[in-house]
Amino acid sequence: MRIKTFVFLIILFFAHYQLFTQTKGLPVLDPEKLMGRLADRDILKNRLFQQEQFPSANIINAEYYKLGPGDVLILQVLPAFMNEEVLTVTPENSVIIPRIGTIDVKGKTLKELKDTINQIFINHNPQNKVYLSLYQPRLVFVTIRGNVSYPGNYYLPASYTVSTAIRFANDFIIKSEIPQQQAAAMLKILSKKYELEQNYSETGLPFSINYSERYTTVFHKDGTSEIVDIIKSETLGDYSADPYLMEGDIINVPFPNLIFPTISVLGSILNPSVIPYKNGDKLSMLVKLAKGIKENANLENIVLYTPQNPNGTKIQINENLELLSGDIELTEGSILIFGEKPLNQPSNYGSVSIKGEVKKPGVYLVENNQTRLKEVIEKAGGFSENAYLPLAKILRRNGNEISKTDPMNIVKQYFQYSDLTLDDTIRYILDIDQRKSVVSCDFESAFVKNSEKDNVLLQDGDVILVPNNPRTVYVFGQVNQPGFVEFSENKNMKWYIEKAGGFAPNARKSRARIIRGNTLVWLEGNDDVYLNAGDMVYVPRPPDIPSTVEIQNYGLIASIALTFVTVISIITNLLSR
């Protein structure tokens, strides 16, 4: 069976070969050369697959991509070639096509080469179908300088546009070997940006004006240059405004001028923007720059304000951001504002969840800041027999969003105007970093002592946790038998330490503390302070003193003693005269 299959493949190969060699207008290629070229092609393809790949950031537009040395192309001509051919642009800016010869590609775009090769093969045989694609773009050496995070020299694929190269030079993630100091500085910048984005979110205004997106300059190796307009390219789909990289390009990203003319699109849209103004800018570009409208956008209230008409002109636009009237050429200072529909009055009702030891746990309807704790517990059928109120608590959503780039940012903000001493600072950082989103409330006071202060008002999203009685107190640290001790009513810290075997020989008795189970607050263990089930008792040891500090202390004591002896000696000498 295997022999028959092999014979069939040999016959099939030679059938293709006969068709290949008999193609009208093309020279004959002997089998040995054909097999050699197929082997070379496979070796080249395997080598390409093993190379390190860059992210495919841009889809190539053949009309604008200019070929250069190192580009790898795939050519397939049916029925002339039975397999695709791998073509590489040579250092002389040419490609060699089997049985055709050399084609100069200097200054040619990918589309122009496609048209040239297509015409060659059609001239040989009108039945030929030509397919040419960029298989792998070449790497080019470019310099990026100016207003980017990491200016310098880069090897990047020629398929990258200038805007992609700039993003690459601003990408903190790709810089794995930057100095620690620089990394910390970049994190601070990213944290500030995150904070600005958060502050301006849902305001209808942008948090920054990016001057460089319309005024970046690219200097080409042939002495020419061009202004890159990234906004125009991304908004209008103008590929010429954001060109592909070329060998030796120098990309200069400018720092913003203090004063420059602007145009704006603001309001209830997805992309509020203020951009530099250029002659010829039109209203349609501003509309597309909005990149969509929000659900509350009022299409009956879209107004264009200009310095010439500060009262504004109503603009008709449909939901697809298409102008329903003629396009308008803008003047500097033009502002297009999308109005908002009035918001419906939000419901004052919400829901809370009760978990744990109540008779009917679950979710209950509450009126925000009107319904109190006792009312909801009553709806839940009251507490079960196992409920333990000293450990019960209410969790509440925290409105403070933690910075994703600098988690310590909130700590710095609160500490900015403090008058704490250096000793207080460490405790402050621990306290604010570990703060809990709980409501200040004592369940035992509320339900046993009828404290109105602790019968707190509830809010939508609150979670009421009622645990069961753990019936133990945990004693640890410098005691002889650390571990869980059975809870007993109206007992103080001293009693629980004795139950845990008493103080260990190296215990620092004066620093023993109670840690409340519901709040984790530390208390001094006075005789009149009783523990609850779930509390902890911690007995520390004396602090370790480094040997260097001990030597310093001994030196200080010796110095004081020497000084005292010297003073006594002087006084004695004076009195003896």
Cis before 79? omega within 30 = yes
Q: Mean pLDDT, to the nearest integer, of 355-366? A: 95
Q: Where are the beta strands (DSSP E) in 457-559?
A: 463-466, 472-477, 483-486, 513-515, 522-524, 536-539
* Cα angle 337, 321, 273; round to 5: 40
Confidence of residue 203 (pLDDT cuts 50, 70, 90): confident
What are the structural domain ranges in the chain?
19-137, 172-340, 349-466, 472-539
Token pair belonging to 480 = 């002889």
CA 345 to chain CA mean position, Å: 34
Which residues sit opposite 372 in a β-bridge? Answer: 457
Read off the DSSP letter of residue 357. S
Q: What is the pLDDT of residue 331?
A: 94
Query: How many CA atoms does the CB half-sphere of 20 hold within 13 Å?
Result: 19
Which residues sit opposite 129 in a β-bridge? Answer: 78
Whether residue 216 is predicted with pLDDT greater than 60 in this model: the reply is yes
Q: Where are the beta strands (DSSP E) in 137-261?
A: 139-146, 152-157, 216-219, 225-228, 250-253
Which residues sit opposite 479 in a β-bridge? Answer: 503
Whether residue 230 is predicted with pLDDT greater than 70 in this model: the reply is yes
Listed residue (450, 431, 434) closest to 442, CA to CA: 450
Q: Mean pLDDT, to the nearest integer, of 285-311? A: 92
Topology match between the domains 172-340 and 349-466: yes
Q: What is the pLDDT of residue 320?
A: 86
Q: Mean pLDDT, to the nearest integer, of 225-248? A: 93
Read off the DSSP letter of residue 70. T
Contacts of residues 99-102 at CB distance under 8 Å and 24 or more positions apart, as own/partner, are 99/26, 99/27, 99/29
Kindly report whether the global pTM for this prediction surpasses the value 0.85: no
Q: What is the pLDDT of residue 186?
A: 67
* Cα angle 97, 101, 105; round to 5: 70
Alpha-carbon distance 156 to 161, whole Å?
A: 10
The torsion defined by the Cα of 346, 371, 382 and 454, in degrees rounded to 10, comes to 130
Q: What is the pLDDT of residue 15?
A: 44
pLDDT, tens digit, 9 for 90 and up, residues 74-86: 999 888 776 788 9
CATH superfamily of 172-340: Outer membrane lipoprotein wza domain like (3.10.560.10)
Read off the DSSP letter of residue 468. B
Token pair belonging to 483 = 């571990």
Confidence of residue 200 (pLDDT cuts 50, 70, 90): confident
The residues, any chain, with a CB within 8 Å of residue 378's CB and separated by 6 or more, are none
Whether residue 422 is predicted with pLDDT greater than 80 in this model: the reply is no
Which residues sit opposite 329 in a β-bridge? Answer: 282
DSSP letter string, 368-409: TTTSBHHHHHHHTTSB-TTB-GGG-EEE-----PPPSS-TTH
Token pair belonging to 147 = 């207003």
Alpha-carbon distance 515 to 507, whole Å?
A: 17
pLDDT, tens digit, 9 for 90 and up, residues 519-574: 888 999 888 999 999 999 999 998 766 656 556 766 777 778 778 778 777 777 77
| Ranges 36-50, 193-207, 226-240, 544-558: which has the least confidence | 36-50
pLDDT, tens digit, 9 for 90 and up, residues 95-133: 998 878 899 999 999 999 999 999 998 988 888 888 999
Q: Mean pLDDT, to the nearest integer, of 353-358? A: 95
Sheet holding 152-157, edge to edge: 152-157, 139-146, 250-253, 216-219, 225-228
Q: Mean pLDDT, to the nearest integer, of 174-191? A: 64
Q: What is the pLDDT of residue 6?
A: 47
Q: What is the pLDDT of residue 326?
A: 86
Read off the DSSP letter of residue 358. B
pLDDT, tens digit, 9 for 90 and up, residues 124-177: 888 888 899 999 999 999 999 999 988 999 999 999 999 999 998 987 555 556
Checking phi first, is residue 395 left (phi over 0); if not, alpha (psi -120 to 50) or beta? beta
pLDDT, tens digit, 9 for 90 and up, residues 453-485: 999 999 999 999 999 999 999 999 999 999 999
Whether residue 446 is predicted with pLDDT greater than 60 in this model: the reply is yes
Q: What is the pLDDT of residue 201?
A: 77
Could you give the percent of the chain with pLDDT greater than 90? 57
381 vs 17, residue with greater confidence: 381
Q: What is the pLDDT of residue 560?
A: 80
Q: What is the pLDDT of residue 564?
A: 73
Token pair belonging to 253 = 């990203």
Q: Mean pLDDT, to the nearest integer, of 422-444? A: 80
Whether residue 382 is predicted with pLDDT greater than 90 in this model: the reply is yes
The residues, any chain, with a CB within 8 Å of residue 64's CB and separated by 6 or more, are 109, 239, 240, 243, 244
Class for domain 472-539, per CATH?
alpha beta
* Cα angle 124, 125, 127; round to 5: 155
Contact 470, 487 (CB under 8 A): yes
Which residue in this structure is represented by tokens 């496609």? Answer: 114
Give, to the nearest 10 degrees, the angle between helix 31-50 and helix 2-21: 100
Whether residue 347 is predicted with pLDDT greater than 50 in this model: the reply is yes
Alpha-carbon distance 269 to 274, whole Å?
A: 13
Which residue in this structure is represented by tokens 């744990």? Answer: 356
Q: Positive or negative CA dihedral for 165, 170, 176, 179?
A: positive
CATH number of 19-137: 3.30.1950.10
Looking at the structure, give the CATH architecture of the domain made up of residues 349-466. Roll (3.10)
Q: What is the pLDDT of residue 10?
A: 47
Contact 136, 48 (CB under 8 A): yes
DSSP letter string, 284-345: HHHHHHT-SB-TTEEEEEEEEEETTEEEEEE--B-TT--BSS---B--TT-EEEEEEPPPPP
Q: Give the pairing of strands 273-276 and 262-267.
A: antiparallel
CA 241 to chain CA mean position, Å: 28
Contact 290, 297 (CB under 8 A): no
Q: What is the pLDDT of residue 223?
A: 93
Query: Residue 509: helix, strand or coil by DSSP?
Result: helix
Query: How many CA atoms does the CB half-sphere of 225 hold within 13 Å?
Result: 9
When the pLDDT of each residue in the chain is averaged and rounded to a whole number, the result is 84
Q: What is the pLDDT of residue 481?
A: 96
